[in-house]
């Protein structure tokens, strides 16, 4: 088995891209939003890739699956944060749609990975 096998996975690379795109958006937020919702969306989006990475090192499929479920939960939290940002005119509809499409792709990839573990 390759050490740090997650580095080659598209789902990991896409989750890092999601974080990078959100980081770009967060830099434009007003200071008070950066401290609250900005910090929260950065944590939730970063959690996706970190849980994929951490789970990949587990010795059982059951443990790995638990981390993939946590990654999915963080991804849903990220999309909810994006929705709130959109509703409050802190991001555009286009920015929301672009990031939601990436989140959908990541969700599908995580689902496929979970099916391989069963």
Compute the chain's Rg from CA coordinates: 15
Question: What's the count of helices (H) and strands (E) in the chain, helices before strands?
Answer: 5, 0
- Tens digits of per-residue pLDDT, 37-60? 999 999 999 999 999 999 999 989
Phi, psi of 33 (to 5 degrees): -75, -35
State the Cα–Cα distance between residues 38 and 90, nearest whole angstrom: 10
**Structural domain boundaries of the chain?**
7-117
The pLDDT value recorded for residue 59 is 86
Residue 1 pLDDT greater than 70, yes or no: no
Report the candidate in 112, 89, 108 with the shortest Cα–Cα distance to residue 100. Answer: 108
The tens digit of pLDDT for each residue in 71-103 reads 999 999 999 999 999 999 999 999 999 999 999
- Say if domain 7-117 classifies as CATH 1.20.1440.60: yes
Lookup result for tokens 């499409």: 101
Structure tokens at 19: 């974080």
């Amino acid at each position: 088995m390759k050490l740090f096998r997650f580095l080659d996975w598209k789902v990991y690379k896409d989750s890092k891209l999601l974080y990078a795109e959100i980081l770009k958006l967060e830099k434009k937020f007003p200071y008070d939003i950066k401290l609250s919702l900005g910090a929260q969306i950065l944590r939730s989006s970063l959690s996706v890739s970190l849980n994929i990475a951490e789970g990949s090192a587990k010795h059982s499929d059951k443990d790995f699956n638990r981390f993939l479920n946590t990654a999915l939960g963080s991804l849903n939290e990220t999309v909810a944060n994006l929705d709130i940002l959109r509703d409050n005119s802190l991001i555009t509809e286009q920015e929301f749609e672009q990031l939601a499409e990436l989140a959908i792709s990541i969700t599908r990839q995580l689902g496929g990975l979970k099916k391989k573990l069963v």
